[in-house]
Amino acid sequence: MTRIIKKYGGGGGSTTKTIPDWMPPYLETGLSASQSALTGGDLSQVAGFNTTENAAQTNAVIQAGQQDAQTGATLAQANQVLSTAGSTGLGVDPSVLANNPQLKAVQDATIRSAQIGIGGQQAVNAKQGAIGGGRQALQTSENEANLSAALAQQNLDQLNKQSATAIGAAQTGLQALPSELSAITAGSNTLQSVGTAQQKQTQAELDSQYQGLSRFSSLIQGTPWQSQQQTSGGK
């Protein structure tokens, strides 16, 4: 019979395990294989980044710039709307009315309609002999005031409409920003997940010899051997 003595530090004692004579050759074989694996570097291999992970990381760098650009554009738009609202009370600058073809068309139609109405009223006045004098001047002034009021109201309505649209777009942009940023990196995230799984498998293959030696050691020691390692005062 062969005896193996295992010592414990920290003030503990030691445990002596008697093994059969047929076992040492297997131990020698296992230790030899362990020595070869150790000197060959097979017990400390680390799987590097694979092509899929490299592609994911390259894309991620590019997409980080895209995210910055998207964030900057969205915040710039929102800040412009808020700045305009702070200075004018509206989400757009009133100068936008000068370049609004729809508003111009509506106001041209309003002016033509007013001119037709004024012409008709003048024809009635002519028939009644009410041309000239203070009455006609008063009516003309009233017509002009009504037309100005109508045009001003149209301007205000259009400003409110464009203001609401601008503020709504800014709010929607800010709310959608997190989803947009996530969407930008969706492809890279998928590549990274696939690459990580591939790297995990590669690492497992690199560790196969270590795992085999570990299992061999466990088989040699066995659970009873482990349970007999405890001695009084040991750790």
Q: Which residue has the higher pLDDT, 119 or 228?
A: 119
pTM: 0.50
Greatest mean pLDDT range, 38-47, 81-90, 145-154, 207-216: 145-154
Q: What is the DSSP string of 38-89?
A: HHTTTTS------HHHHHHHHHHHHHHHHHHHHHHHHHHHHHHHHHHHHHHS
The answer to whether residue 173 is domain-embedded is yes
The answer to whether residue 234 is domain-embedded is no
What residue numbers bound the domain in which 60 lies?
51-192
What's the mean pLDDT in 98-114?
79
- In this structure, the answer to whether residues 79 and 23 fall within a common structural domain is no
pLDDT tens digits, 36-45: 777 777 777 8
- In this structure, the answer to whether residues 10 and 68 fall within a common structural domain is no
The answer to whether residue 197 is domain-embedded is no
pLDDT of 185 higher than 50: yes
- In this structure, the answer to whether residues 85 and 175 fall within a common structural domain is yes
8 Å CB contact between 203 and 48? no
The answer to whether residue 232 is domain-embedded is no
- In this structure, the answer to whether residues 108 and 170 fall within a common structural domain is yes
- In this structure, the answer to whether residues 186 and 123 fall within a common structural domain is yes
Q: Across the chain, what does the average pLDDT equal?
A: 76
pLDDT tens digits, 22-39: 767 777 777 788 777 777
pLDDT at 42: 74
Distance in angstroms (rounded) separating the CA atoms of residues 119 and 130: 14
**65 token code pair:** 């710039």
- In this structure, the answer to whether residues 82 and 176 fall within a common structural domain is yes
The answer to whether residue 171 is domain-embedded is yes
pLDDT tens digits, 144-174: 788 888 888 888 888 888 888 888 888 888 8
- Helix or strand run (H / E) with residue 4: strand 2-7
pLDDT of 60 higher than 60: yes
- In this structure, the answer to whether residues 176 and 89 fall within a common structural domain is yes
pLDDT at 195: 92
Phi and psi at residue 11, to the nearest 5°: 90, 5
- In this structure, the answer to whether residues 30 and 128 fall within a common structural domain is no
Could you tell me the pLDDT band of residue 125, with boundaries at 50, 70 and 90? low
Number of domains in the chain: 2
The answer to whether residue 200 is domain-embedded is no
**129 token code pair:** 């002999």
pLDDT at 52: 93
Could you tell me the pLDDT band of residue 224, with boundaries at 50, 70 and 90? very low
Q: Give the number of other CB atoms < 10 A from CB of residue 216.
A: 16
Distance in angstroms (rounded) separating the CA atoms of residues 176 and 173: 5
**Amino acid identity at 145:** A
8 Å CB contact between 182 and 10? no
Could you tell me the pLDDT band of residue 72, with boundaries at 50, 70 and 90? very high
The answer to whether residue 140 is domain-embedded is yes
- In this structure, the answer to whether residues 16 and 123 fall within a common structural domain is no
3-state secondary structure of 5: strand
- In this structure, the answer to whether residues 147 and 101 fall within a common structural domain is yes
What's the mean pLDDT in 175-183?
91
The answer to whether residue 233 is domain-embedded is no
pLDDT at 178: 92
Q: Counting every residue, how long is the chain?
A: 235
pLDDT at 229: 41
Angle at 92 between CA 154 and CA 153, to 5 degrees: 15
Could you tell me the pLDDT band of residue 126, with boundaries at 50, 70 and 90? low
